[in-house]
A and B are shown apart, each in its own frame.
Chain A
């Protein structure tokens, strides 16, 4: 069966709900396809009906209505008769989501996310029709690595060009391994659940290029759909260069850190970061030279190899004080403000925590989403923007992040284990009138220079960046006031 029916029968896609699968074959008049999430759960379940190069989108539509919509469309012969929320004209054989004019879809350029919400995640025919399962020349793969950077904190090469690490693995002793890290970031889990073949295309191309003997897909056990879909995709992936194992790791935030991911895959009952150097590229999974890349990095690689050029996009998830979080794909020339435009903010934007759980805080959203611009602004490149609305308290926010760091670290190294505890205490002391900006700055600096892994390196970043951008709020708290009116009265604290 081809992806899109060019005959008169409409094709219905149900995105963002597992129920779509049950509807399949329930109606003889229509082909109902269960597809992955679009990354914009605010509009899901998103039901689309396609007929002759035209697709009508029905946002927040119960899958049970599919039958009615299909019969309406079939009767009138036109997708608009079912009163859709948006209509898009497209190539009748479109293999990528025809982007509707719906909230969450107004920005960016979907290439890595093109399959999400359109192709059936584990259907090889859909992926093949989109040009997938290519067998790129290893030389071309290694070449692409000179221009592609790692994405996400779960990526061993975050923000670094990939080729050097790949060379280390290819030239290393022992059979290499490639680990797909789908843990720790919503976009990485989204890709595993919605477009696993894109991720596996990148992983298998890389495995061939470095002559890897093992391929492991790793995701959080909490992301059940990602794990299940990856498992199914692994079994249906045609002719992989190495056996593909899918491993579900513990849901803790730290479990996404590349060396803790290896510990989890190897089955250690306690998660702890590994000492480095040497890094996993020399001594990794079971001692093998190992590449650890996120779903996003590998999907970007797959798209780059297929298109013959670099997809200069960044997948960003916007969350926080928003009606519903959304994952969007932006051009590197786009800004954080563009990302925030994709969601409905509850109130006005006061600040954003950019770049993961331990991202940097900023008032200014006019910052590009490319790694240079983000780093120059002391923000993180992990691919998340946590929006803080006007009535949110920055001091409270960074205090919570510090406490999370103190509770969620692996406990191995002193700057992280004890540093996050002291950081939490220093932030708590602000409420008692003891505002020690220099002390917080010093501690954050030492945590960043001497922690063993990026958990500790970044754990102080929310506090340090907030001190710089919101100094008056800290001072106000030390005086016993919360400008946002969110914090309890100091009298109650003491």
Chain B
């Protein structure tokens, strides 16, 4: 009885992965469907959600769908609930995860749906560090975009701004910085790490207001985790919670002496020698630069710099690469 419950499609690599999240059913419609969004009929393919329909037309009101990613099989997590829309048939539902059943009538401007989107976005902001000017994602942050689009000027529940309650920044990894005070728990990084990269590093842990992104190895910091520095978590992160280390302050407004790190309290710094922001093998490339594959191979970096493409060991040639920033390589 047990044996037939195993999903034969699951690669063995995932067996030991424990992301701490529920086993969600697949969402989306069973077959092709036509739904009406704010008076416009939209035809959709099998497997579509109401958000696919909403995104296909000019809607009466903006539907943020903040935690939605919609690529690489990541999500929908349907966590933030800023995509609520009204349907005549099922009442107010989350567009990102509700199947586009044939014949549904969707209204984005319905009062209860608009209120739910508005309140939920403010609830997201209530637990978010809103110091955008010291954030490396300033200007390319999906929460910022959603808040601007929704015209949020003063979130009704305020923002997370209590120095005593800030989680320490995790700056221990040479490649990825974690600031949980900006995390909206959208779960994209966990899915990118476990389902796409199959690395099994990140997990969701805790409950209630203690819910946070942690490590499956029970490590306290990124440096102590089993992270291979592939960077996918930072790639999919909608806010400044996970940022590539080299660009943590890429878009901050230069205020002398004021950074995210010193404004929120404690930071877990990396121990020992400081590493550069990029993997060793990148430095073995010719000095001409412009390597079109620069980002692709980063996932293998932590193992051994000499094994990629037969490139020579870089340790003996500091300063030769285009990525050189004067740091000490591992």
Contacts and interface: CB of A to CB of B under 8 A. Distances in A.
Interface in B194-222: 203-211
A259 B22 contact: yes
B143 to A, nearest CB: 12
How many chain B residues sit at the interface, stated as a range, is 35 or more
B205 A270 contact: yes
B25 A286 contact: no
B1 A421 contact: no
Interface string A271-302: 11111111000110011000000000000000
A286 B184 CA distance: 29
A422 B126 contact: yes
A220 B155 CA distance: 40
A276 B18 CA distance: 21
B115 interface: yes
B23 A408 contact: no
Contact of A446 (B18, B20, B27, B120): B120
A391 interface: no
B161 to A, nearest CB: 14
A275 B24 contact: yes
A442 B20 contact: no
B286 interface: no
Interface string B103-144: 000000000100110011001101100000000000000000
How many chain A residues sit at the interface, stated as a range, is 35 or more
A274 B22 contact: yes
A350 interface: no
B274 interface: no
Contacts of B82: 414
A411 B97 contact: no
Interface stretch (B73-81, B229-237, B239-247, B249-257): B73-81
B18 A411 contact: no
Given A263-B23, A422-B157, A275 B92 contact: no
A407 B115 CA distance: 25
Contacts of B115: 442, 445-446
Contacts of A266: 23
Given A243-B1, A413-B81, A442-B119, A272 B20 contact: yes
Interface in A440-474: 442-443, 445-446, 449-452
Given A286-B5, A415-B116, A450-B120, 20 more contacts: A254-B207, A270-B21, A273-B22, A275-B97, A277-B25, A283-B25, A287-B5, A406-B208, A414-B82, A414-B184, A415-B120, A417-B185, A417-B208, A417-B209, A418-B157, A419-B123, A446-B116, A449-B91, A449-B116, A450-B84
Interface of B: 1, 5, 7, 18, 20-27, 76-82, 84, 91-92, 94, 97-99, 112, 115-116, 119-120, 123-124, 126-127, 156-157, 184-185, 203-211
